[in-house]
Amino acid sequence: MGTQILPSNAYPLDALRSFLNFAPLTFSNLDWISVQERLEGQCCFVRSEENQIKALISCEPENEQAAWLRIFVSLSDGRHAEYFERLLDRALLELREAGVTALYTLSFKPWHQNLFSSCAFLPFTRITTLILSDLSAESAEPLPGAEIRVMTAEDLPALEEVDHSAFSPAWQLNTRSLEAAFRTCTYNTVALQGGKIVAYQMTAANFYTSHLARLAVHPLAQQQGLGIRLALDTIRETASRGGTEMTVNTQTNNQQSLRLYHRLGFIQQGKLIPVLQKPIRDV
């Protein structure tokens, strides 16, 4: 056979795993879903020539409007830009048919930036990492009419409603991603008002460091102190386990989020990560 681009499910999983393990050029986004699950998911395509896999892309949508470039893996034969462009065209066709309006990606290395720029990805925002090295968090008085408790799996449907209300489409998590985050994170809590979940946080622990992976407050419950109380609670929980620092990521144009974390004592750490967007238009 000659050159072809087919959905990943047209290939044996063992062949795809072998290619991923040995292909020298690999791009992967921050993701709660495993690579293997992405291989079996929507909008994952493989380019092959003469029955040899050359490259693979995954651009699975997160919701009806937004998709993220999850994975791009290629042989290092000088043709990775060609492979990427062809695979991206195929993925965009499927995303367009599904009604998705934009594809997003992070850019970690210069070759990523060159690849994405050549395919008309545009600057969208930047991600900053903040760090808190003093975990002696201030005490917070309980909020009248509000309750904070440990999250359960039964809370996940309500979390999705809060998440989609709190974030624009590019930053929303769907049910599957929320479930994966819930399984991965080690300390998850919700805030309730009138018995209804109106905010949540998820924190992942790694030795002496914790990462506040997700903090969302429903717009109708914002400006009431729920976000800072959820953050203070997970800071104290980290300290109680012997943790010495906490990190969090947010967008440089999210002033509300930055004000909250700066108030808690977080400071910027490391380089900013560009976020790029490719609008998906009808042709």
pLDDT at 138 (0 to 100): 61
Extract the tokens encoding 246.
């906490």
Alpha helices in 40-104 (DSSP H): 80-97
**Whole-structure pTM value:** 0.93
Alpha helices in 149-191 (DSSP H): 156-166, 175-184
pLDDT at 283 (0 to 100): 45
For the chain, how long is the longest CA-to-CA vector?
A: 69
The stretch 162-183 carries a mean pLDDT of 96
Residues 128-162 have pLDDT tens digits of 999 999 898 665 566 667 899 999 999 999 999 99
CA separation for the pair 59, 204 (Å, rounded)? 25
- Count of alpha carbons within 13 angstroms of residue 17, beta-carbon side: 7
Residues 6-42 have pLDDT tens digits of 999 999 999 999 999 988 899 999 899 999 899 999 9
Residues in the chain: 283
Sign (positive/negative) of CA torsion 221, 223, 224, 225?
Answer: positive
Extract the tokens encoding 29.
């986004």
The stretch 69-85 carries a mean pLDDT of 96
Residue 94 has pLDDT above 80, yes or no: yes
Ordered by where they begin, the domains of the chain are 3-120 (3.40.630.30), 129-272 (3.40.630.30)
Averaged pLDDT score across all residues of the chain = 93
Q: What percent of the chain has pLDDT over 70?
A: 96
Structural element, H or E, at residue 3: strand 3-7
pLDDT at 136 (0 to 100): 82
